[in-house]
Amino acid sequence: MKHLLSLNDWSTAEILDTLKLAEKLKTETKSGIEHTHHLKGKTLGLIFTKSSTRTRVSFEVGMTQLGGYPIFLNANDIQLGRGETVHDTAKTLSRYLDGIMIRTFKQSDVEDLAKYGDIPIINGLTDLVHPCQILADLLTIYEHKGELKGLKLAYVGDGNNVANSLLIGCAKVGIHISVATPKGFECDASILNIAKEAAKLTGSNILLTNDPAEAVTNADVIYTDTWISMGQESEKQTKVKVFTPYQVNSKLFSYAKEDAIFLHCLPAYRGYEVTQEIIDGPKSVVFDEAENRLHAQKAVMVKLMGN
């Protein structure tokens, strides 16, 4: 487990072991137990060509709690693949750092850093996948449901990086997943094939549909994400028209199980992909989910960078 480039790289056992460690670290932290020995004296570079609230704060706080030092590098600080080749950047940073978290656009940038560097690389988000988010999601689901295998998760909305990683993550741990997207906004075909192969080993069922009600029927978990991802602001008017039937509201929620919970990776836009009564209501666990980014990522850093 040298890198976290995609959940496809990790086995079911590795994912579950990481979730178990995350749960342990979370419980102990809240009990006042410190974990500064895990990464004492180590340094994590944080490369951001895409800005973020949760990713930056959770990694900086997590690294500090583990006894290490985070170094923030934004798009103006590092010319990844532009002023300098990814090869040279990876080779150079490997001499300074003990690990890199990168949040960027191209999946190839993440993979090239891992290919040419000599230190662990953590994918904080690309346009293709978002593995750290899904580890936090799985931890949240387990906390509220007490299990993973055999549950049903329904994702409604854009077939984006979060949906792609949910397909893999759910398939890897045996969660049945149904994805409802408008035509033309489906999940990546290569990711779907990866998820289907994983599902064969765990018994996970995968359903793709254009009907939100079909996807949500008897779901234990309902998940959505913003319709307009970073860099797509010019498409807002068109996408809102297409995606309005996919809004998560009380009517759609009525198709799910009585004790279903609601997840959203945030930032959320109330009145668009989800109504206020859902995201701020009793079934919503979005802020538990946001907090769990910290704990899941701490577990990832310990696994990849610990002695």
Residues with a known catalytic role: 103, 130, 133, 225, 265, 293
On the question of a cis peptide bond just before residue 267, with omega within 30 degrees of 0, the verdict is yes
- 113 vs 86: CA distance, rounded Å: 6
Instruction: Kindly give, in sequence order, each residue whose CB lies less than 8 Å from that of residue 103, ignoring residues fewer than 6 positions away.
Output: 46, 47, 48, 49, 50, 52, 55, 124, 125, 126
Q: How many CB atoms lie within 10 A of CB 78?
A: 18
DSSP designation for 119: S
- 129 vs 253: CA distance, rounded Å: 26
Provide the β-strand partners of residue 44: 70, 99
Element counts in the chain: helices (H) and strands (E): 12, 9
Within the chain, residue ranges assigned H as helices are: 12-30, 54-65, 86-96, 107-116, 131-145, 161-173, 189-202, 212-216, 236-243, 250-253, 276-279, 286-305
- 103 vs 123: CA distance, rounded Å: 6
Q: Are 54 and 291 in contact (CB under 8 A)?
A: no
